[in-house]
């Protein structure tokens, strides 16, 4: 299994991840999360969703885990609460006994993995019988936008190719139900939800993060290294993001699949 994290942890990436909240990215989980629950948030990144989950469970406790020591350190220094902890850990090999948590959550993680079913099987193992495993991932091929700036089609093509060359599945949202079934989870509930960017402010930051990511982060380096794009194509993709954002009718929809299952 070859697997490499497509986005890396450059500032443009972490800025974008830091916009996420439980409300805009884990509503389907908040609807069933009970106060007092113990929660494991795997692949927690900079931890904004994790910190919201800690607030939501009140007297419960939340552990955020990520493979990257760098983002774990950043999350731990940004979010402090008595019931919140961050640590380094790998989704394939969690250092916790069977059934250790009431709720196990992973947001935008499975799409980057070479073996999402093995990861889900490990998430199921550390969740108590009858508890909740909740996963949500974007679906890049289903993203849509207006106006139809041609360079954005090229951007998507570059992203899909790099993510797949890295062993991931960028259309993960539509695969979650099948993966969860194969991992042995039961009582599965699949739903979908979106991020929508249309105000001038939202278009501005969303386009800037992607313009930076496609021209100047690990994603750009990997695209060139893999022969998926040359510098000229990447600059065209970055310009397309700027052009899209300047359009007063601009809108962008990011669909996600989400699954709740029980061990």
**Which residues would be at the binding site for ligand SAM (CB under 6 A)?**
5, 7, 17, 20, 42-45, 49, 66-68, 71, 90-92, 107-109, 112
> What does 197-238 look like in DSSP terms, one character per residue?
E-SHHHHHHHHHHHHHHHHHSHHHHHHHHTTS--HHHHHHHH
Distance, CA of 228 to CA of 133 (rounded, Å): 35
Tell me how far, at minimum, the Cβ of 79 lies from ligand SAM, in Å. 12
Looking at beta carbons only, is 107 or 236 nearer to ligand SAM?
A: 107
Closest approach of ligand SAM to the CB of residue 48, in Å:
6
SS3 180: helix
Which residue has the CB atom at the shortest distance from ligand SAM?
Answer: 45
| Shortest Cβ 97–ligand SAM spacing (Å) | 18
Nearest residue (CB) to ligand SAM, 3 versus 230: 3
In angstroms, give the least distance from the CB of 198 to ligand SAM.
Answer: 21
- The minimum distance between CB 201 and ligand SAM, in angstroms, equals 20
Nearer to ligand SAM, 208 or 239 (CB): 208
State which H helix or E strand residue 38 sits in.
strand 38-42
């Amino acid at each position: 299994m070859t697997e490499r994290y497509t986005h890396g942890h450059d500032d443009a990436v972490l800025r974008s991840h830091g916009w996420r909240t439980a409300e805009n990215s884990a509503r389907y989980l908040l609807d069933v999360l009970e106060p007092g629950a113990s929660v494991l948030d795997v692949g927690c990144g900079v931890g904004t969703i994790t910190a919201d989950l800690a607030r939501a469970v009140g007297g419960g406790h939340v552990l955020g885990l990520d493979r990257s020591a760098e983002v774990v350190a950043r999350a731990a220094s940004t979010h402090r609460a008595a019931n919140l902890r961050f640590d380094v850990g790998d989704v394939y090999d969690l250092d916790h006994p069977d059934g250790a948590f009431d709720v196990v959550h992973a947001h935008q993680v499975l799409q980057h993995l070479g073996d999402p079913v093995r990861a889900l099987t490990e998430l199921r193992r550390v969740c108590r019988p009858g508890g909740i495993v909740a996963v949500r991932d974007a679906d890049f091929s289903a993203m849509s936008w207006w106006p139809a700036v041609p360079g954005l089609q090229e951007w998507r093509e570059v992203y899909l190719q790099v993510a797949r060359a890295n062993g991931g599945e960028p259309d993960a949202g539509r695969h979650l139900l099948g993966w969860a079934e194969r991992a042995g989870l039961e009582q599965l509930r699949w739903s979908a939800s979106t991020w929508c960017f249309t105000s001038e402010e939202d278009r501005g930051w969303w386009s800037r993060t992607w313009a930076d990511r496609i021209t100047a982060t690990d994603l750009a380096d990997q695209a060139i290294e893999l022969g998926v794009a040359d510098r000229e194509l990447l600059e065209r993709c970055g310009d397309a993001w700027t052009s899209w954002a300047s359009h007063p009718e601009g809108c962008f929809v990011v669909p996600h699949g989400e699954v709740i299952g029980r061990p």
